Amino acid sequence: MRIIDCIQGTEEWKKARLGVPTASQFDKIITPAGKPSKSAETYLYQLAAEYILQQPYDMTTSEFMQRGTALEAEARRFYEFQKDIDVQEVGFCLTDDGLAGCSPDGLIGDDGGLEIKCLSAGRHIAHLLKMSADDYKVQIQGSLYVTGRDWWDQLAYNPAMPSPIIRCHRDEPFIALLDEYLKRFLNQLEGCIARLATMGIKQVTEEIDEELEELFPA
């Protein structure tokens, strides 16, 4: 595992993720049942666009995402108190080959990680009633795949309601399928970018940006 030392949400973090399949989006490659996702082709084109344009495909922030970001630090402190343990905050984690990544809400010791979900009140209640280790399975198993760690804690946090913590361990058969589908996806992404290059469509650089500014001044 390689760690990009940055703060999540910053321009440096966004740049590190450009064109890289991430655990939060692995469900567009593989379903929780271990089947190929029907969203893979669309995700492929989105990542190719990120690589070519060198900017995030879609970083719009919803009201609930903003709420989650605001509560995340509080949720992390709650987790540390409940578990009597320190959580290491990190920016962006990459596989050793740098081809896939994840943005953990925390790393714990040498073996664990943390995923925090600050849900709307209705979704939080649904989670309490249907609580399952399979919730967010693809993202969590994807984070275990990227980091090589043994377990990941899933915290659904709401300051006004019970906030359960579920420990998820590595599902090796599922991770093996993820590895297979991800490698196939990455080969397709490489082929897509190569084909675009033959059409004269290449990665945007600072020089190209300057040429575009000259052609299309603001």
Helix axes 172-198, 137-147, angle to 10 degrees: 80
- For 146, the domain range is 2-215
Reference 45, options 206, 198, 195, 178; nearest CA is 195
- At residue 213, the pLDDT reads 53
Sign of the C-alpha dihedral, residues 41, 42, 47, 48? positive
CA distance 47 to 53: 10
Q: Answer whether 140's CB lies under 8 Å from 121's CB.
A: no
- The helix or strand, by DSSP H or E, that contains position 12, with its residue range, turns out to be helix 11-17
Q: Which two tokens stand for residue 179?
A: 């590895």
Residues 6 or more apart in contact with residue 208 via CB below 8 angstroms: 202
CA distance 119 to 111: 26
Q: How many domains does the chain have?
A: 1
Say which CATH number the domain at 200 has. 3.90.320.10
pLDDT for 134: 78
Start-to-end C-alpha separation, the chain: 42
Give the per-residue pLDDT at 135.
80
pLDDT tens for the chain, residues 1 to 218: 999 999 999 999 999 999 999 999 999 999 999 999 999 999 999 999 999 999 998 765 545 455 556 799 999 999 999 999 999 999 999 999 999 999 999 999 999 999 999 999 999 999 999 887 678 999 999 999 999 999 999 999 999 999 999 999 999 999 999 999 999 999 999 999 999 999 999 888 755 455 545 554 55
